[in-house]
Amino acid sequence: MEHRIIRQGMWRCFLTTLFFTAGVVGLFGQKYYSKVGQVVFTSDASLEKIEGKNTNGLVVLDAATGRLECSVLIKGFQFEKALMQDHFNENYMESHKFPKGVFKGTITNMQDIHLKKDGTYTVVVKGDLTLHGVTKPFSPTGKVIVKGGKITASSSFEIMVSDFNIEIPKIVRDNIADKVKVTIQADLLVMEQ
């Protein structure tokens, strides 16, 4: 009888601990995502302005750790002219060899961002950006806007195409900028666990 009481007490303790832990993970370990993040890049050269847009960027954020991962399929970029899209994929980005652009990093000031409280928060991110088969340390800043339970993350930065071994032929050097502006925006949803 005494052993049964001890076992029942142990099971209650175990179940209480399990439910408490699950509640804490659910509260503090929340993950957010977007499958429709918008990524726009703009090349504003002396002879031509080129813009590519992709609305299928994937973003995953772990609110407990600040871990952030973003990826985009290079072939998903759309252009005003079909010929631009062909050149982008075949000649510059070589999307058949390097199909994705990927960022993996951490929001270093996650403790200052309150995803359940309305406000505009500046985020500082540190990680690695991989494009065209080249990985470089990358530390952009961005914004998280929380309004009425909706979370929108955005960032705008510039990259040098030469940093990622993207070659621009001399014949079109005046049509394509050496420095490309990239703008990202994603509405984040709660990931079901």
Provide the pLDDT for residue 45: 83
* DSSP string for 89-119: IIIIS-TTT--EEEEEEEETTGGG--TTS-E
Instruction: With respect to residue 24, please indicate whether it lies within any of the assigned structural domains.
Output: no
The enclosing domain of 134 has a CATH number of: 2.40.128.110
Provide the pLDDT for residue 107: 97
Domain count, the chain: 1
Which residues, other chains included, contact 96 with Cβ-Cβ below 8 Å and sequence gap of 6+? 89, 90
Instruction: With respect to residue 40, please indicate whether it lies within any of the assigned structural domains.
Output: yes
Instruction: With respect to residue 22, please indicate whether it lies within any of the assigned structural domains.
Output: no
Instruction: With respect to residue 81, please indicate whether it lies within any of the assigned structural domains.
Output: yes
Burial label for 145, CB within 10 Å (0-12, 13-18, 19+), is middle
By residue range, what is the domain housing residue 59?
30-190
Pairing relationship of beta strands 141-147 and 119-131 according to DSSP bridges: antiparallel
Provide the pLDDT for residue 193: 64
Instruction: With respect to residue 7, please indicate whether it lies within any of the assigned structural domains.
Output: no
Instruction: With respect to residue 3, please indicate whether it lies within any of the assigned structural domains.
Output: no
Backbone φ and ψ for 4, nearest 5 degrees, come out as -65, -45
Instruction: With respect to residue 123, please indicate whether it lies within any of the assigned structural domains.
Output: yes
Q: Which residues of the chain carry a pLDDT beneath 50?
A: 1-28
Structure token pair of residue 151: 């979370």
Instruction: With respect to residue 149, please indicate whether it lies within any of the assigned structural domains.
Output: yes
What CA–CA distance (Å, rounded) separates 165 from 102? Answer: 16
Return the closest-CA partner of residue 163 out of 182, 137, 125: 137
What CA–CA distance (Å, rounded) separates 39 from 37? Answer: 7
